[in-house]
Chain A
Amino acid sequence: MASQSIKHEKSAGKIDIPRILMYIALLGYTFLSLLPLYYMISSSLMTLGEVNAGLWYPKDIRVGTDISPCILYTTDTFVNDNGDRVTETRFVVDIPEEAAQVQKYGPRSDVRQDDIVRDERFRIPFFTNYCAAWEGANLGTYMWNTFRIVFITLAGLVVFCTMAAYAFARMEFPGKNLLFGIMLATLMVPEMVQQLPNFLLVTEIGNFFGNQGLNLCGAEVRNCWINNWPALTIPFMATPISIFLLRQHFATIPSELWDAARIDGAGHVRFLIQVVIPLSKGVLFVIILFAFIGAWNALAWPILVTSGDSWRPISYGLQSFLNDEGNLGHLRMAGSMITTLPLLILYAFTQRVFVEGISTSGLKG
């Protein structure tokens, strides 16, 4: 660095060809890496015809002619099965003609459409595809599911991993190095090997608890683990990589602090909660961030252990939507865009922590 700046001063004022080439290379790769994302955004705003024609940008941003706008907020008045006159205010989506095949979410199935007197309050043109994808892929439910899964996982992960990491960093007990070595060795085991047995284990554990009458989720089903939160969260509540990161950080906390706390009469739990954790906010934040991204990307395991919409997370939801709408490129891109946005927003706010977290730990999430 220092040498480079010296060089720079010497050559100030002249045209530095290597430097220009450097910028060209960097900008070139920037262009390449953003190109797919640009295409996702632009085609999510196109009509199906425009996507299929291979356009690079939406040409036809007209409202009214061949793109019917998306209704977001309406008041419907109709007569229901009991003969009562009902007025309902709700969000509905009126999708464009090309996407009629995905109209599983039409106005109402139990009422003939002609009988509805609709007062449309609020229309957003142009975001048609987003509305259709949001409704068609049920993305709202899946996002909510993902948030619930992340929340439960983190509640366990933070507590268990902090405790284990603290024991490894600050306590002396027989077999410490052996246990730590075994834990690090499990980092080498690919998930693929664990998936199948874990599926069987989770099923059997669920059956076991069900037979004992200990249903964690309080549901009426016999096996409460499969297709419910325990299968999706409990196996991920202690990850070796989190314990390792936390331990490495805890080991840097000076032992004088421990001595001082000890003299003041604090035990391990008090010291952990009042001194260690406040000093480790950064690492904990990185762990939370990666747990969130991991849950957002989880696909294989949810395919195995979920069978309905009640706990299916976002990646699986998006993937089945992509399968269903195989030919509707504009809707697929809109769905992908909706799924990508939260992570992009998160990244925009946390990018420094993120990049630093990755470069210090080398996590491959």
Chain B
Amino acid sequence: MTAQTVNQETAAPSFRKGIFNGRRGRHFRENLTAYLFLAPAAILIFTFGIFPIFYASYVSLYKWRIKQGEFRGIANYVHAMGDVAYVFLGAIAFFFLIAGVTSLIRTLKTARENKIPIQFPLTALLPGAVVVYGLVEILLSFITFFTQEGAIESGHAQVLGSVPIGLLAVIIGGVLSTAVYRWQHSQVAETPHKILPNFNTASIMTVIFLAGAFFVGTFTYQQLMATGQAPVVWVKVRAILQGLILLGLAYVIWNWGMKQFSNLKLIVALVGAAVFIGGGVYLISIWPVVTAGSDPDFYLSLSVTVFYAIGAVPAQLLTAMVLAYLLFQDIKGKAFFRVVFFIPYIAPTVAGAAIFDVLFSLRPTSIANSLMQAITRNPELQLSWLKEPGHAIAILGQAFGLESAGAWEYGPSLALIVIILFSIWRYVGYDTVIFLAGLGNIPHVLYEAAEIDGANRWQVFRHITFPLLSPTTFFLSVISVIGTFKAFNSIWVLRDTAALGTSDTASVYFFETFQRGARFGYASSMAMVLFVIILSLTIIQNRLAEKRVFYG
């Protein structure tokens, strides 16, 4: 490349000036081409992928029934979650604060490692703040651009932000940051062979996080004060925080214990477990009090989602892992099995769900009921399956002759069990294929070594296959858990009003509120809550995986 550059430099007559000519001109042209190539996709992804997050959080602050209504602050969140909403928003502010401080510390560390004065990254914060201010202005004017007709006239929506000011701020910030960078570079260059790390992106991220923390924190605080309920809310918030701190403490003790030697390890682990159970029991006991006045259907939908994930994901992954392990052995018809296992995943979700709807119909002669009659040897047995809001453990227990099971009042409903079965049926083939790919990545040398050492099949699986498969298992568990939060089509087909919402996961309840109820503001506040839950699940799973997963 360099050789060509030189050739073309000499070939190009030096008197042709202009922004498209010369070395700098070509650079400019190259960049422009790249941005033109990116433009359509970037515009679409921004408009329909990133901007909606901001727009959803804007909508969630309003009473919005098809048309934009009055500003309600965080009332929608409080309506959904009860006073837990304050803890929730506080946690978001706290997370922003942590992220901002971490980003700042990391930048300072980079500066120190490069022996650069500490004020260098700090001075980069100023242009960063100007750029962020400009970006916020532009974003707000975008929101204004998309307001509904008549919303501004009726006084429900305000004109927010301004594109010229925003652009001006971004440009000034950009120029400032370049100037700061140049100036710093000239300072550093006095000591030779020094490359100045670019602090601009890091400073912008720091400003975004810290400003986010400040904004969310103060906004929540003002809203709390405006309700006039602050002392009552504070008592509840403190109770929840105590429970959460206990859980965190348990995690710390457990972690610390795992690093100790054998005897101490057991004792500390037991203490950790005890603290964990204590925290859990405490939280459960105060839960009805702190969530008083919230939307019961919202919490029901969350618990349904949790049951759905607990019921579907482990069973699905275990089955898939066993099947993949068997398929990986030296057997005949491998391709056949792989193709067949995958068919449920190919069938359209709506059609597949329709099959389960007919299989699990409430008629005494339906396939599911006649199978249950054959198993329990009770020809009178008739279960309502998808129309049954009762607890599955109680109902199935009684069906199998355990009268005492009827008192069991926890766990998923029978309707949800059918949906879990559908999910397992559909995704096992997909998971098997991914597991097979993961198995294929394990080097054969290890198996040969194990063979020489005289390991049996179980030992090979336990000490080679399972640990080396852990990245795949981790990947699948993350996307499956997130998948249960996203699942919509099958549940939309299989849900029944007779199940009283016990089969509606959070995404379905959201859609119901949004589409049937036309409560846009409230629905977006729920969507934001779910978004935060999914994000934090992903982050937690990532953190756990760092410790647990073995990346060969």
Q: How far is the CB of B301 from chain A (nearest CB, A)?
A: 12
Contact of A332 among B354, B488, B511 (CB under 8 A): B354
A22 touches B520 (CB 8 A): no
Would you call A8 an interface residue if the criterion is a C-beta within 8 Å of the partner chain's C-beta atoms? yes
B434 and A358 contacting across the interface, CB-CB below 8 Å? yes
If over half of B's interface residues share one DSSP class (helix, strand or loop), that class is named, otherwise mixed; here it is helix
Per-residue B-contact encoding for A173-213, CB less than 8 Å = 1, 0 else:
11010110011001011111111111011011101000000
A29, A234, A259: which contacts B44 (Cβ < 8 A)?
A: A234
Tell me which of B340, B342, B355, B447 has the highest count of chain A C-beta atoms within 10 A of its own C-beta.
B355
Specify which chain B residues have a CB less than 8 angstroms from the CB of A198 in the assembled complex: 48, 52
Which of B34, B327, B343 has the most A CB atoms < 10 Å from its CB? B34
Q: Which residues from chain B contact A190 at a C-beta distance below 8 Å?
A: 482, 485-486, 507, 530-531, 534
* B367 contacts across to A, CB distance below 8 A: 39, 54, 56
Question: Quick check: is A322 within 8 A (CB to CB) of the other chain?
Answer: yes
Once bound together, how far apart are the Cα atoms of A166 and B36, in whole Å?
11
Do residues A192 and B41 form an inter-chain contact, with CB atoms below 8 A? no
Is B59 at the interface (CB under 8 A from chain A)? Answer: yes
Q: How many angstroms between the C-alpha atoms of A339 and B510 in the bound complex?
A: 27
A297 CB to closest chain B CB (Å) equals 5
Is B366 an interface residue when CB atoms closer than 8 A count as contact? Answer: yes
Q: Does A82 contact B (CB under 8 A)?
A: no
Q: Does A329 lie within 8 Å of B49, measured CB to CB?
A: no
Residue A333 is within 8 A (CB to CB) of chain B in the complex: yes
Asked if B40 and A163 make an inter-chain contact with CB atoms under 8 angstroms apart, the answer reads: yes
Contacts of B346 in A (CB 8 A): 293, 343-344, 347, 354
Instruction: Answer whether residue B4 sits at the interface, using C-beta atoms and an 8 A cutoff.
Output: yes
In the complex, A3 has a CB within 8 A of chain B = yes
A300 within 8 A of B: yes
Cα–Cα, bound, A51→B357 (Å): 13
Q: How far is the CA of A189 from the CA of B485 in the complex (A)?
A: 12
Judged by a CB distance under 8 angstroms, whether B225 is at the interface is: no
Q: Is B339 an interface residue (CB 8 A)?
A: yes
Mark A30-61 against chain B: 1 for CB-CB distance below 8 A, else 0: 10111011011001000000011110100000
Is B429 interfacial (CB 8 A cutoff)? yes
CB distance from B432 to the nearest CB of A (A): 9
Asked whether, in the complex, the Cβ of A19 is within 8 Å of the Cβ of B331, the reply is yes
In the complex, the chain A residue whose C-beta lies closest to that of B460 is A3
Residues A37 and B510 in contact in the complex (CB < 8 Å), given A2-B448, A183-B45, A358-B430: no
In the bound complex, do residue B492 and residue A2 qualify as a contact, i.e. CB atoms below 8 Å apart? no
Closest to A30 in B: B340
Q: Which residue of A lies closest to B528 (CB)?
A: A193
A-chain residues with CB within 8 Å of residue B493 when the two chains form the complex: 319, 322
Residues of A within 8 A of B148 (CB): 200, 203-204
Chain A residues closer than 8 Å to B370, beta-carbon distance: 54
Asked if B133 is at the interface (CB within 8 A of a chain A CB), the reply is no
- Beta-carbon contact of B34 and A161 below 8 Å: no
**B503 contacts the other chain (CB 8 A):** no
Q: Which listed segment binds A: B79-87, B102-110, B318-326?
A: B318-326
- Tell me whether B59 and A30 are in contact (CB under 8 A): no
- The CA of A33 and the CA of B336, in the complex, are separated in Å by 13
Check B450–A3 contact: CB distance below 8 A.
yes
B187 within 8 A of A: no
Q: Which residues of A contact B4 (CB under 8 A)?
A: 262-263
**Judging by beta carbons under 8 Å apart, are A26 and B323 in contact?**
yes
**In the complex the two chains form, is A318's CB within 8 Å of B350's CB?**
yes
**Residue tally, chain B, CB below 8 Å to A:** 105
Task: Judge whether A319 and B531 touch: CB under 8 Å.
Answer: no
A182, A319, A355, A364: the one within 8 Å of B338 (CB): A355
Chain B 124-149 near chain A by CB (<8 Å), digits 1 or 0: 00000000000000000000001111
The stretch from A63-71, A101-109, A237-245, A277-285 touching chain B is A237-245
Contact A297 B531 (CB under 8 A): no
Residue of B nearest to A56 (CB): B367
B331-A33 in contact (CB<8A): no
B356 at the interface (CB under 8 A from A): yes
Contact with B along A286-321 (1 / 0, CB 8 A): 000000010011011001100000000011001100
B292 within 8 A of A: no
Given contacts A18-B457, A195-B514, contact A297 B52 (CB under 8 A): no
Known: A189-B531, A197-B524, A299-B488. A51 touches B44 (CB 8 A): no
Q: Which residues of B contact A337 (CB under 8 A)?
A: 351
B47 touches A201 (CB 8 A): yes
Q: Do residues A193 and B146 form an inter-chain contact, with CB atoms below 8 A? A: no
Query: In the complex the two chains form, is A193's CB within 8 Å of B350's CB?
Result: no
In the complex, A242 Cα to B34 Cα: how many Å? 18
Nearest B residue to A204 by beta-carbon distance? B146
Encoded as 1 (CB less than 8 Å from any A CB) or 0, chain B from 361 to 381 comes to 101011101100000000000
Q: Say yes or no: B349 contacts A297, CB within 8 Å.
A: yes
Is the beta-carbon distance between A167 and B34 smaller than 8 angstroms? yes
Are A160 and B44 interface neighbours, CB within 8 A? Answer: yes
B535's closest neighbor in chain A, by CB? A188
* Distance between A302 CB and nearest chain B CB, rounded to angstroms: 11
Determine which of A7, A40, A207, A300 lies in contact with B351 in the assembled complex, contact meaning CB atoms within 8 Å.
A40
Do B340 and A238 have beta carbons less than 8 Å apart? no
Task: List A residues 107-123 near B (Cβ within 8 Å).
Answer: none
Is B16 engaged at the interface, CB distance under 8 Å to the other chain? no
Q: Which of B1, B53, B327, B347 contacts A194 (CB 8 A)?
A: B53
Chain B residues positioned under 8 Å from A161 (CB to CB): 41
**CA–CA, A53 to B430, complex, Å?**
34
Residue from B444, B523, B534 within 8 A of A196 (CB atoms): B523
Expressed in whole angstroms, the minimum distance between the Cβ of A199 and any Cβ of chain B is 8
7 cross-chain pairs, A with B, having the tightest CB-CB distances, nearest first? A359-B437, A164-B41, A336-B351, A54-B365, A197-B52, A197-B55, A238-B41
A-B contact pairs, 8 of them (CB 8 A): A36-B344, A53-B365, A167-B37, A171-B37, A197-B55, A240-B49, A259-B1, A297-B349
Besides A163-B41, A197-B524, A299-B492, 17 new A-B residue pairs in contact (Cβ under 8 A), listed by A number: A22-B326, A37-B343, A39-B355, A40-B355, A167-B38, A172-B34, A186-B49, A189-B531, A190-B486, A196-B59, A201-B51, A238-B42, A299-B350, A299-B489, A315-B350, A332-B358, A340-B347
Residues of B within 8 A of A (CB): 1, 4, 30-31, 33-35, 37-38, 40-42, 44-45, 47-53, 55-56, 59, 146-149, 201, 319, 322-323, 326-331, 337-344, 346-352, 354-359, 361, 363, 365-367, 369-370, 425, 428-430, 433-434, 436-437, 444, 447-448, 450-451, 457, 475, 479, 482-483, 485-486, 488-489, 492-493, 507, 510-511, 514-515, 520, 523-524, 527-528, 530-531, 534-535, 538
